[in-house]
Structure 1
Amino acid sequence: MQIRDLPYVDPGLPDVRSGPRFLLWLGRRQRGGQLRSLSWGLLHFVSVMALPYGVGRAVQAVVDRSGSSLALAGAVLAVAAVCIALGDTMLHRTAVTNWITAAARVQQLLIRKTSELGSALTRRVAAGEVVAVSTGDVEKIGWFVEAVSRFLAAALTVVVVCVGLVIYQPALGVVVAVGVPVLALGVLPLLPRATELADVQREKAGRATELASDTVAGLRVLRGIGGEELFLKRYRRASQDVRTAAVRSARMWSAITAVQVLLPGLLLISVVWYGLGLVADGRIAVGELVTVYSAVMLLSYPLRHFEEIAMAYSFSRPSARRAARVLSLERITATKATAAGDGTLTGDLYDPATGLLAPAGALTAVVCGDPDMAGRLAERLGGHPAEPEGLPSALLGGVALDEQPLEAARTAVLVQDKDPVLLSGTLAELLDVPASGSVAADRALAAAESGDVLDALAQASLDNDPMAAPITERGRSLSGGQRQRLALARSLVTDPEVLVLDEPTSAVDSHTEARIADGLRNLRSGRTTVVFTSSPLLLDRAEQVVLVHEGKVAAVGVHRQLLSSEPRYRAVVTRETDAEQQLVGAQRGAPEAVFTKADTDDIEETA
Structure 2
Amino acid sequence: MQIRDLPYADPGRPDVRSGPRFLYWLGRNQLGGQLRSLFWGVVHSGSVALFPLAVGMGVAAVVDRSGARLAAAGGLLLLLGALTALGDTMLHRTAVTNWITAAARVQQLLARKTAELGSALTRRVAAGEVVAVSTGDVEKIGWFVEALSRFVAAAFTTLVVCVALLVYQPALGAVVAAGVPLMALAVLPLLPPATKRADEQREKAGRATELASDTVAGLRVLRGIGGEELFLSRYRSASQEVRRAAVRSARMWALIAAVQVVLPGLLMIAVVWYGALLARDGRIGVGELVTVYGVVTFLLFPLRQFEEIAMAYSFSRPSAQRAAKVLALRRTAVPADDVEAVAGDLKGDLYDPATGLLARSGELTAVVVGDPDAAGRLADRLGGHAAEGAGDSPSVLLGGVALDEVPLDVARTAVLVQDKDPVLLSGTLTELLDVPSSGAVTADAALTAARCDDVLASLAQASPDGSGDPLRTRITERGRSLSGGQRQRLTLARSLVTDPEVLVLDEPTSAVDSHTEARVADGVRALRAGRTTVVFSSSPLLLDRADRVVFLREGTVAAVGAHEDLVRSNPVYRAVVTRQTDEEPDKELVESGKSEPIGESA
TM tier, smaller: 0.7 to 0.9
Letter of the structure 2 residue corresponding to residue 377 of structure 1: L
Letter of the structure 2 residue corresponding to residue 154 of structure 1: A
Please say which of residues 319-328 and 377-386 is displaced more in the overlay: 377-386
Q: Tell me, which stretches of 5 or more residues in structure 1 are unaligned?
A: 593-607
Is residue 364–residue 530 contact of structure 1 (8 Å, CA) maintained in 2?
yes
Letter of the structure 2 residue corresponding to residue 399 of structure 1: V
Residues 128, 382 of structure 1: CA spacing in aligned structure 2 closer, same or farther, 3 A cutoff? same
Map residues 68-107 of structure 1 onto 2, 5 A cutoff. 68-107=68-107
Q: 1:405 and 2:412 equivalent?
A: no
Is residue 448–residue 486 contact of structure 1 (8 Å, CA) maintained in 2?
no
Whole-angstrom distance in 1 between the partners of 2:490 and 2:60? 80
Q: Deviation per CA, 1:12-34, whole angstroms, max 9, x where unpaired?
A: 33332322222222222322222
Q: Deviation per CA, 1:37-67, whole angstroms, max 9, x where unpaired?
A: 2122111111111111112112222222222
Is residue 202–residue 315 contact of structure 1 (8 Å, CA) maintained in 2?
no
Q: Secondary structure at the match of 2:303?
A: helix
Is residue 445–residue 451 contact of structure 1 (8 Å, CA) maintained in 2?
no
Q: Secondary structure at the match of 2:341?
A: coil
1:37 matched residue in structure 2: 37
When normalised by structure 1's length, the TM-score is 0.85
2:505 matched residue in structure 1: 501
Whole-angstrom distance in 2 between the partners of 1:404 and 1:570? 38
Per-residue deviation, 1:200: 0.9
Whole-angstrom distance in 1 between the partners of 2:74 and 2:266? 30
Letter of the structure 1 residue corresponding to residue 242 of structure 2: V
Q: Deviation per CA, 1:550-594, whole angstroms, max 9, x where unpaired?
A: 44444444433432333332122112235534888999x9989xx
Residues 342, 118 of structure 1: CA spacing in aligned structure 2 closer, same or farther, 3 A cutoff? closer
Is residue 572–residue 586 contact of structure 2 (8 Å, CA) maintained in 1?
no
Please say which of residues 445-454 and 360-369 is displaced more in the overlay: 445-454
Please say which of residues 434-443 and 42-51 is displaced more in the overlay: 434-443
2:544 matched residue in structure 1: 540
Q: 1:467 and 2:466 equivalent?
A: no
Whole-angstrom distance in 1 between the partners of 2:432 and 2:94? 37
2:375 matched residue in structure 1: 374
Per-residue deviation, 1:154: 0.9
Whole-angstrom distance in 1 between the partners of 2:250 and 2:126? 28
2:350 matched residue in structure 1: 349
Q: 1:142 and 2:142 equivalent?
A: yes
Per-residue deviation, 1:485: 5.7
Per-residue deviation, 1:469: 3.0
Per-residue deviation, 1:303: 1.4
Whole-angstrom distance in 1 between the partners of 2:485 and 2:61? 85
Per-residue deviation, 1:232: 1.0
Whole-angstrom distance in 2 between the partners of 1:478 and 1:135? 35
Residues 69, 215 of structure 1: CA spacing in aligned structure 2 closer, same or farther, 3 A cutoff? same
Q: Deviation per CA, 1:358-391, whole angstroms, max 9, x where unpaired?
A: 2344432111234454334322321234887554
Whole-angstrom distance in 2 between the partners of 1:14 and 1:75? 50
Whole-angstrom distance in 1 between the partners of 2:196 and 2:43? 35
Whole-angstrom distance in 2 between the partners of 1:217 and 1:477? 24
Per-residue deviation, 1:136: 0.9
Map residues 327-346 of structure 1 onto 2, 5 A cutoff. 327-331=327-331, 333-334=332-333, 338-341=338-341, 343-344=343-344, 345-346=346-347
Map residues 153-192 of structure 1 onto 2, 5 A cutoff. 153-192=153-192
Per-residue deviation, 1:491: 3.8
Is residue 22–residue 320 contact of structure 1 (8 Å, CA) maintained in 2?
yes
Per-residue deviation, 1:152: 1.0
Residues 241, 48 of structure 1: CA spacing in aligned structure 2 closer, same or farther, 3 A cutoff? same
1:260 matched residue in structure 2: 260
Q: 1:528 and 2:535 equivalent?
A: no
Is residue 368–residue 551 contact of structure 2 (8 Å, CA) maintained in 1?
yes
Q: 1:568 and 2:575 equivalent?
A: no
Per-residue deviation, 1:151: 1.0
Q: 1:14 and 2:14 equivalent?
A: yes
Q: Secondary structure at the match of 1:339?
A: helix
Whole-angstrom distance in 2 between the partners of 1:513 and 1:184? 74
Whole-angstrom distance in 1 between the partners of 2:420 and 2:148? 46
Residues 441, 60 of structure 1: CA spacing in aligned structure 2 closer, same or farther, 3 A cutoff? farther
Per-residue deviation, 1:426: 5.7
Q: Secondary structure at the match of 2:283?
A: coil
Whole-angstrom distance in 2 between the partners of 1:477 and 1:160? 70
2:64 matched residue in structure 1: 64
Residues 237, 478 of structure 1: CA spacing in aligned structure 2 closer, same or farther, 3 A cutoff? farther
Residues 35, 516 of structure 1: CA spacing in aligned structure 2 closer, same or farther, 3 A cutoff? farther
Is residue 47–residue 84 contact of structure 1 (8 Å, CA) maintained in 2?
yes
Q: Secondary structure at the match of 2:343?
A: coil
Whole-angstrom distance in 1 between the partners of 2:580 and 2:289? 96
Whole-angstrom distance in 2 between the partners of 1:162 and 1:173? 7
Whole-angstrom distance in 1 between the partners of 2:87 and 2:439? 54
Map residues 405-554 of structure 1 onto 2, 5 A cutoff. 405-420=407-422, 434-436=436-438, 447=450, 467=474, 469-471=476-478, 488=492, 491-492=495-496, 494-506=498-510, 510=514, 513-514=517-518, 516-518=520-522, 520-521=524-525, 524-554=528-558
Whole-angstrom distance in 1 between the partners of 2:488 and 2:285? 84
Q: Secondary structure at the match of 2:535?
A: strand
Q: Secondary structure at the match of 1:329?
A: coil
Map residues 282-361 of structure 1 onto 2, 5 A cutoff. 282-331=282-331, 333-334=332-333, 338-341=338-341, 343-344=343-344, 345-361=346-362
Is residue 366–residue 547 contact of structure 1 (8 Å, CA) maintained in 2?
yes
Map residues 157-236 of structure 1 onto 2, 5 A cutoff. 157-236=157-236
Q: Percent identity?
A: 72
Q: Secondary structure at the match of 2:93?
A: helix
When normalised by structure 2's length, the TM-score is 0.86
